[in-house]
Amino acid sequence: YHIMYNNATFVTKEQLKFLKQMDNWLANEPWQSEVELKTAMEVRNMITEIEKKGYYYEGEAELLNLMRSEYIEHTKKKKKKRL
C-alpha cells in the first residue's frame, strides 16, 4: 500500500528492484526506431530520478506502467523462445 503525499507515491523496495530490471532491459534492447530509442532514454532518465528522490508522480506512473507492460510482453516472448 502506498503513502500518498501531494500526488506523489513513495517507491517500495520491490518497485525499485523492478525498475532496475526494466532499466537494464531498456539499456540493452536493440531499439529499431529513433522514437523507441528516445522513449527508452526518457524512461531511463525518469527511473534514475525516481531512484534518487524515492517517489514518483501520477504522470510518471502512467508512462512507467506503459513501459512495464511492454517489458512484461517482451519477457514473455523471450521465455517462449527459450523453451
Question: Structure pTM?
Answer: 0.80
Angle, helices 34-53/13-28, rounded to nearest 10 degrees: 150
Q: Which residue has the cell 500500500?
A: 1
pLDDT tens column, 19-30: 999 999 999 999
> Does pLDDT of 1 surpass 50?
no
